Structure 1
């Protein structure tokens, strides 16, 4: 292992646009379904619904969190609806599968989605047996990333020492709370939608290809 990362015992990964590329457009399809859900729920035209959708996303961490807070939306109904997408767009990335298999220590998924959806995605990516657990939005008690309580809950649920943990995310703002509690942070800079805040001071590593980066940090031990 790269000496700079020899302290890492827990490898934590976001799911969407992190373990698969933005170019797969899977989350783009989910984003469209979220917009349609907001239109139907609030009886809005597409433009107005888009403003509500993104406003809740930026203010609450997810559109779902905003809908729950402002309209009492049932999270199970919402998640089943917006995750009803065609997953045939996903492909196995052999380099990533191989690199993840070689990582020493524990491996977990930390997602603002739900576990049933995440499991389907991981299976399509050839990663169904790779991770110890999926810590999803239900497990966070609907306090999604970047709420600091979500990270604290993750560490408590799996007895993780944050100082021995590394977190990989495509949404830069979601790395700030991880860094604040001592995690090593990795930003996947792949063109996915970002929050307006351009602060990147809490990012330890910026990478564009997760599989290639993981192989590069493992090469020193091979």
Structure 2
């Protein structure tokens, strides 16, 4: 293993646009459903619904969190609606399955989505049996990444030492709180939405455009 990663015992991965390519635009379907939900809820046109949705996303971490605070939206109803999407854009990723299996230690998922949706995605990718546990938005008590409380609840739920853990996410802003508690960070810089945050060497330890390529590289180093 690369010397900089020899300490890692826990490999924690974001789900959307991290474990699959952003080019698949799976999350684009979710994003469109969120806009539609906001439009129906507030009775506004698509452009205004999109503006409100993104405002909630930037200010609260997720659209859901903002809608819960400002409109008392039922999270279960919201998540069932926005995750009612087609999975055909995803294909089994045998290379990623093999590489994640080869990582030493525990493999875990930390997502702002919910577990039923996460399991559908993982099954579609062939990763259904690759991860020990999933920490979702319900487990975070609806305090999503990048709120510090989400990271504390994740490390406590998984019973992991942050100093022995790596966290990979496609949104640079979600890495800063992970770094703040001592995690090693990997930015999957694949062109997905960055929420207005520029990556910084202060909280990005490693960077890749493709998770599979990066894992292949570090495992080759290990060999």
Q: Do Structure 1 and Structure 2 share a fold, with TM-score over 0.5?
A: yes
Aligned residues of 1:110 and 1:136 also touching (Cα < 8 A): yes
Partner residue, 1:54: 54
Aligned alpha-carbon RMSD (Å): 0.8
Listed one character per residue, the Cα deviations across residues 72-108 of structure 1 (whole Å, up to 9, x for unaligned) are: 0000000000000000110112221111010000010
Q: How does 1:57-206 map to 2 (within 5 A)?
A: 57-200=57-200, 201-206=202-207
CA distance, structure 2, for counterparts of residue 193 and residue 33 of structure 1? 16
Question: Following TM superposition, by how much is the alpha carbon of 1:197 offset from its aligned partner in structure 2, in angstroms?
Answer: 2.8
Partner residue, 1:24: 24
Alignment of 1:5 onto 2:18:
no
CA distance, structure 2, for counterparts of residue 95 and residue 124 of structure 1? 14
Question: Following TM superposition, by how much is the alpha carbon of 1:221 offset from its aligned partner in structure 2, in angstroms?
Answer: 2.8
Question: Following TM superposition, by how much is the alpha carbon of 1:199 offset from its aligned partner in structure 2, in angstroms?
Answer: 4.5
Q: Quick one: structure 1 residues 26 and 181, their matched pair in 2 at CA, closer, same or farther if it must change by over 3 Å?
A: same
Task: Tell me the secondary structure at the aligned position of residue 15 of structure 2.
Answer: coil
CA distance, structure 2, for counterparts of residue 143 and residue 221 of structure 1? 36
Gaps of 5+ in 1: none
Gaps of 5+ in 2: none
Give structure 1 regions of 4+ aligned residues with deviation exceeding 2 angstroms: none
Partner residue, 2:35: 35
Task: Tell me the secondary structure at the aligned position of residue 206 of structure 1.
Answer: strand
**TM-score normalised by structure 2 residue count:** 0.98
Task: Tell me the secondary structure at the aligned position of residue 88 of structure 2.
Answer: helix
CA distance, structure 2, for counterparts of residue 211 and residue 199 of structure 1? 21
CA distance, structure 2, for counterparts of residue 198 and residue 102 of structure 1? 31
Question: Following TM superposition, by how much is the alpha carbon of 1:212 offset from its aligned partner in structure 2, in angstroms?
Answer: 1.1
Question: Following TM superposition, by how much is the alpha carbon of 1:220 offset from its aligned partner in structure 2, in angstroms?
Answer: 2.4
CA distance, structure 2, for counterparts of residue 172 and residue 47 of structure 1? 26
Task: Tell me the secondary structure at the aligned position of residue 109 of structure 1.
Answer: strand
Task: Tell me the secondary structure at the aligned position of residue 167 of structure 2.
Answer: strand
